[in-house]
Amino acid sequence: MIDISESGETLETCAGVLQEVFGYDAFRGPQADIVRHVSEGGDALVLMPTGGGKSLCFQIPAIVRERGGHGLTVVVSPLIALMHDQVGALLEAGVAAAFLNSSLSSEAAQAVEKQMLRGEITLLYAAPERLTTPRFLALLDSLHERGKLSMFAIDEAHCVSQWGHDFRPEYRALVVLHERFASVPRVALTATADDLTREDIVTHLQLQDARRFVSSFDRPNIRYTIVEKKDGTQQLLRFIRDEHSGADGHDAGVVYCQSRKRVEEVAGMLRDAGFNALPYHAGLDAALRQKHQDRFLREEGVIMVATIAFGMGIDKPDVRFVAHLDMPKNIEGYYQETGRAGRDGEAANAWMVYGLQDVVNQRRMIDESPAADEFKQVLRGKLDALLTLAEASDCRRMRLLSYFGEPSQPCGNCDNCISPPALDDATESARKLLSCIYRVQQSSGMAFGAGHIMDILRGKVTEKVTQYGHDRLSTFGIGADLGETQWRALLRQLIAREAITVDSAHFNTLHLADAARAILKGETPVWLRHASEKKTSSRSSARSKSAAATAPDGKPLSLAERDCLDALKAWRAEVAREHNLPAFVIFHDATLRAIAAQKPRSMADLDGVAGIGQKKREAYGAEVLRVVSAFD
């Protein structure tokens, strides 16, 4: 048995597992502290961004504790569809892992249960609804009585919170783990949680005494760009063509849309334009959804067009862009979704188009929901934070990190940093717009929508304007100096600042709100950015395109090394097909680039290559050397 009573020894043991099983020489960031604490039996709440190595924070302690005689680690995952790949990756690394979910036949499930009771499994993945069934709890009781229940790892822990972006009621029942197995350590992990969500996780999982590990939320390799929505689909097409297409093929990406209908339309448009695009939403047959997800994970250059039903737990490392054609509900959702890009650390883009209708739609969904007023108020606050990010003229990354309580400096790698927007003092124009809404209501006793208000401001004589006598108002024509695009941008900002509200129940009519008073009095300035879609530097795109031709030390690969890399990728694809796993589960691109650059000639030469653990060296070393030998 391994003695893990001393911190120094524990860390040494964990580092040994990191090298032997996963093939890495050193922990990243706070990983070392986390694996030591969890391996020693401490409870933990781990907040770590996507791509930060979150899984190792429970996988390594699970292995260390199992070798120390503590038995099984149960991993709670909400994603039945992805358990196969997660378990497959562990098996490839030589770790005894299995899953229990509805995809298994009753005979297969019973076989896993027997392995579990015999102590033949190190990590078992299960969905929360299965974990809390009387049958499964009885199995855990049996293990616990024999001292063979090592740990619970609760992945995607934000699902327990009603304030989280992906609340799942079944997660609330996981409090039974604390109540029934109080002596068994638990680690809850998530990539996204603001203060409110963190406290909810602690409360509902009874983790008050758990140590908290909060990593930086910064993903410096991701470039954030938000542009004004004009023709969203055409803007998307230009973005992908300009930034993510080239002679060596198209990049893999995810495009998020709000509705199923929009998903189908956009996927069709991209296919017509020559891209390998697939739709994904809850209205599709489950088998077809799974097929599309498998293709996205296993093929190169696939663009998944999806609702937010897609994405949680997606481990594909080489997603080069995430695009939003519709605005998410809050910053956590935006952060989680954009975080699916660039998990390999290479340059990636987070791109969003945003318009007045997005603001109106999101506010309407909150107003019309059956939730309590207190709950709606929290949702409005979260939406306001996202609107502030979208309207920002300063560094987007600073705004994003500030939301999670992390101070930072201008990043130099978002649209506003690269191409600072020109700002105009629009205070007087804002006062004209607010005054016009007030005068119209005062004269007619009625409220009107944005189009009509803009017609009045710009002095357009329409049938509706003359019908209500609005061409005789003092505000008629006072805004002729601005175009409709500028007025819409200003209106959007005033709605975001809660100076104007939109009554969605009555034809989206406009009304003055509390914040209008200070603007009308001239006490609060309003600045308007020039409404132009500036093309930012293609540095991200260029880096992503050249990543495959760059060694881990940043030096470009020679032509011969690039040929070797192509051959290694072709071999990897063959192995992945045989094993029915995504290619990156066999070896990450970075590992193949290192092999191509270092040209190992013996098994011993493979020891220093990051990402090749003992089991993978034994399983694939000879084949890797064979492929490489052709390029000597």
Q: Assign 3-class secondary structure to 269-288.
A: HHHHCCCEEEEECCCCCHHH
Confidence (pLDDT) at 313 = 64
Confidence (pLDDT) at 543 = 41
The token duo for 88 is 């497959």
Helix (H, G, I), strand (E, B) or coil at 526: coil
**Which residues fall within 8 angstroms of residue 245, CB to CB, at 6 or more apart?**
251
The whole-chain average pLDDT of the chain stands at 89
- Domains of the chain: which residue ranges? 7-214, 222-418, 423-529, 550-629
53, 14 in Cβ contact below 8 A?
Answer: no
Q: Report the alpha-carbon distance of residue 39 to residue 68 in Å, rounded.
A: 10
Confidence (pLDDT) at 2 = 40
Tell me the CA end-to-end span of the chain in Å, nearest whole number: 45
Helix (H, G, I), strand (E, B) or coil at 237: helix
Q: Report the alpha-carbon distance of residue 612 to residue 624 in Å, rounded.
A: 11
Please say whether the dihedral angle defined by the alpha carbons of residues 181, 182, 187 and 191, taken in this order, is positive or negative. positive
Confidence (pLDDT) at 19 = 95
Which one has a higher pLDDT value, 238 or 364?
Answer: 238
* CA 225 to chain CA centroid, nearest Å: 15
Picking from 397, 383, 375, the residue whose alpha carbon sits closest to that of residue 330 is 383
Picking from 367, 381, 375, 588, the residue whose alpha carbon sits closest to that of residue 498 is 381
| Phi, psi angle pair for 397, to nearest 5° | -65, -40
Q: For residue 541, what pLDDT band results from cuts at 50, 70 and 90?
A: very low
Chain position carrying tokens 């205070």: 427
CA dihedral of 59, 65, 66, 72, whole degrees rounded to 10 = -70
pLDDT above 80: residue 86? yes
Please say whether the dihedral angle defined by the alpha carbons of residues 127, 132, 138 and 144, taken in this order, is positive or negative. positive
75, 131 in Cβ contact below 8 A?
Answer: no
Helix (H, G, I), strand (E, B) or coil at 490: helix
Q: Which CATH architecture has domain 550-629?
A: Orthogonal Bundle (1.10)
Q: What is the DSSP pairing of strand 302-306 with strand 423-425?
A: unpaired
Residue 199, Cβ neighbours under 10 Å: how many?
Answer: 13
Q: Report the alpha-carbon distance of residue 40 to residue 10 in Å, rounded.
A: 7
Confidence (pLDDT) at 1 = 35
pLDDT above 50: residue 372? yes
Confidence (pLDDT) at 369 = 84
Long-range contacts of 582-585 (CB under 8 A, 24+ apart): 582/85, 582/297, 582/298, 582/315, 582/316, 583/298, 584/315, 584/316, 584/317, 584/318, 585/85, 585/88, 585/89, 585/92
Extended beta strands in 343-422, E state: 348-354
Q: Report the alpha-carbon distance of residue 377 to residue 112 in Å, rounded.
A: 46
Q: Which class would CATH give 222-418?
A: alpha beta
- Exposed, middle or buried, 423 (CB in 10 Å: 0-12/13-18/19+)? exposed
The yes-or-no answer to whether 7-214 and 222-418 have a common fold is yes
Picking from 296, 265, 389, the residue whose alpha carbon sits closest to that of residue 334 is 389
Q: Report the alpha-carbon distance of residue 358 to residue 551 in Å, rounded.
A: 42
Alpha carbons within 13 angstroms on the beta-carbon side of residue 183 total 9
**What pLDDT, in 10s, does the model give residues 169-204?**
899 999 999 999 999 999 999 988 888 899 999 999
Picking from 35, 47, 340, the residue whose alpha carbon sits closest to that of residue 191 is 47
**Which residues fall within 8 angstroms of residue 600, CB to CB, at 6 or more apart?**
606, 609, 624, 625, 628
Question: 123: phi > 0 → left, psi -120 to 50 → alpha, else beta; which?
Answer: beta
The token duo for 543 is 């880096």
**501-509 mean pLDDT:** 79
Q: Report the alpha-carbon distance of residue 155 to residue 77 in Å, rounded.
A: 6
* CA 30 to chain CA centroid, nearest Å: 20
84, 227 in Cβ contact below 8 A?
Answer: no
Distance set, CA 430 to CA 20, 179, 355, 493, 529 (Å): 64, 57, 18, 10, 13
Helix (H, G, I), strand (E, B) or coil at 145: helix
Percent of the chain with pLDDT strictly greater than 90: 66
**Which residues fall within 8 angstroms of residue 500, CB to CB, at 6 or more apart?**
434, 437, 491, 494, 510, 511, 512, 513, 516
- Taking each helix axis from N to C end, the angle separating 484-496 and 356-368, rounded to the nearest 10 degrees, works out to 30
Confidence (pLDDT) at 30 = 92
255, 249 in Cβ contact below 8 A?
Answer: no
237, 274 in Cβ contact below 8 A?
Answer: no
Which one has a higher pLDDT value, 230 or 72?
Answer: 72
- The angle formed by the CA atoms of residues 455, 461 and 462, to the nearest 5 degrees, is 80
- Taking each helix axis from N to C end, the angle separating 396-403 and 373-391, rounded to the nearest 10 degrees, works out to 160
The token duo for 45 is 């709440």
pLDDT above 70: residue 632? yes
Q: Report the alpha-carbon distance of residue 349 to residue 243 in Å, rounded.
A: 9
**528-533 mean pLDDT:** 62
- pTM as predicted: 0.85
Confidence (pLDDT) at 246 = 77
Confidence (pLDDT) at 470 = 95
Chain position carrying tokens 């994904």: 280
Picking from 329, 332, 336, 325, the residue whose alpha carbon sits closest to that of residue 362 is 329
Q: Which class would CATH give 423-529?
A: mainly alpha
Q: Report the alpha-carbon distance of residue 609 to residue 605 in Å, rounded.
A: 8
pLDDT above 80: residue 73? yes
**What pLDDT, in 10s, does the model give residues 556-581?**
888 899 999 999 999 999 999 999 88
Q: For residue 603, what pLDDT band results from cuts at 50, 70 and 90?
A: very high
Q: Which CATH architecture has domain 7-214?
A: 3-Layer(aba) Sandwich (3.40)
